[in-house]
Amino acid sequence: MPERGTKLTPTLLVGFDSAWTAANTGGLAGVLREEGGRCRELGLPDATNFENAAVRIASWREACRPRRTVILIDQPTIVRNANGQRPVEHLIASPVSRRRGGMQPANTGRLGMFDADAPIWTFLACFGGTLDPLDCEHADPVIVETYPTLALIALGWLREDVRPSGRLPKYNPARPTFLLDDWRWVCGRLAEALEHFGLVDIPRWLRQQEQRDTRPCKADQDGVDSCLCLLTAFHLEAKLPCLRVGNRESGLIVVPDNAALREELAARCEATGRIAADCIREVRVFC
């Protein structure tokens, strides 16, 4: 929830579970956060590619005339390594793996995703490029990289497991490990979280997903992930503490803050010879 006494001015908040390549589609969700904290929802999460996402966001900006646009995107936005993982992925992979998850490495050798002609760079250029949330107080628009899997860990949305850390929910219907109960659980938690920020239509869609008794399609999961990106945008806009992992030189990821996760990542920094203060920062003042 927003801090008591926080003055809100119109801000366009966008969650984009991106397509990664030109041939794929992802999920897009947008909300205008108006004066007094009211929310105007700009439709339900929808499947879209990079080109259409850029057009849709531009049309929202034209129609709503927000003071600021904040886009949280689930795709690496700073990729300068030719192979292997980015340093931020090397840090985050540990807590993700500990909870029975995995993450894809980002490097410029992945053609169609991060080479010079990849669509992510054109999309970013449409909105001024990616920014560091610690250094963009007056920038507009703002694009920040997030990661739904890490957000689930930060939010504590984990299932019970023989491992003390718990396990990540298996809600990707494109994988054989998919569990319908996990899908329902994630949709319910996410609906509740967005209801706290005053949303109605998107939580109603999520509640419908929570009640389904058949396997969802991949587009449904992209929509859910776009809502997870949107939730992090709400945390930033409401000045709730967020966690920035990585740096502006080699890549950074922002999710809601979690003290236990910060400690876990700090221990990972120490184990890998990094300085935690350079890699793990709290974001409190943003919009």
Asked if residue 26 belongs to a domain, the reply is yes
Asked if residue 1 belongs to a domain, the reply is no
- C-alpha 268/C-alpha 94 separation (Å) is 8
**What's the mean pLDDT in 145-160?**
98
Which carries the bigger pLDDT value, residue 135 or residue 164? 164
- C-alpha 81/C-alpha 229 separation (Å) is 25
For residue range 94-152, what is the model confidence (pLDDT) as tens digits?
A: 999 999 999 999 999 999 999 999 999 999 999 999 888 888 777 899 999 999 999 99
Residue 35: the pLDDT is: 79
If you ran DSSP here, which 8-state letter would residue 126 be given? H
Phi-psi region of 227 (alpha: psi -120 to 50; beta: other; left: phi over 0): alpha
Q: How does the average pLDDT of the chain come out, rounded?
A: 94
With a cut of 70, say whether residue 236 has pLDDT above it: yes
- C-alpha 183/C-alpha 16 separation (Å) is 19
Asked if residue 6 belongs to a domain, the reply is no
For residue range 65-83, what is the model confidence (pLDDT) as tens digits?
A: 999 999 999 999 999 999 9
Total domains present in the chain? 1
Residue 6: the pLDDT is: 47
With a cut of 70, say whether residue 52 has pLDDT above it: yes
Asked if residue 56 belongs to a domain, the reply is yes
Residue 285: the pLDDT is: 61
Asked if residue 4 belongs to a domain, the reply is no
* CA-to-CA separations, 136 to 140, 218, 259, in angstroms, rounded: 8, 34, 24
Q: What percent of the chain has pLDDT over 90?
A: 89
CB-CB neighbours of 18 under 10 Å: 27
Asked if residue 5 belongs to a domain, the reply is no
Asked if residue 61 belongs to a domain, the reply is yes
- Please identify which residue in the block is written with the tokens 């319908």: 180
How would residue 286 be classed by pLDDT, with cut points 50, 70 and 90?
low
* Beta pairing class for 46-48 and 26-33: antiparallel
* CA-to-CA separations, 52 to 16, 28, 264, in angstroms, rounded: 12, 10, 38
Contact 145, 252 (CB under 8 A): yes
> Could you tell me the residue range of the domain that residue 74 belongs to?
11-281
Q: Could you tell me which of 18, 25, 14 has the C-alpha nearest to residue 49?
A: 25
If you ran DSSP here, which 8-state letter would residue 104 be given? -
Asked if residue 287 belongs to a domain, the reply is no
Q: What percent of the chain has pLDDT over 70?
A: 96
Residues in Cβ contact with 19 at an 8 Å cutoff, skipping those fewer than 6 apart: 25, 26, 48, 49, 50, 53, 119
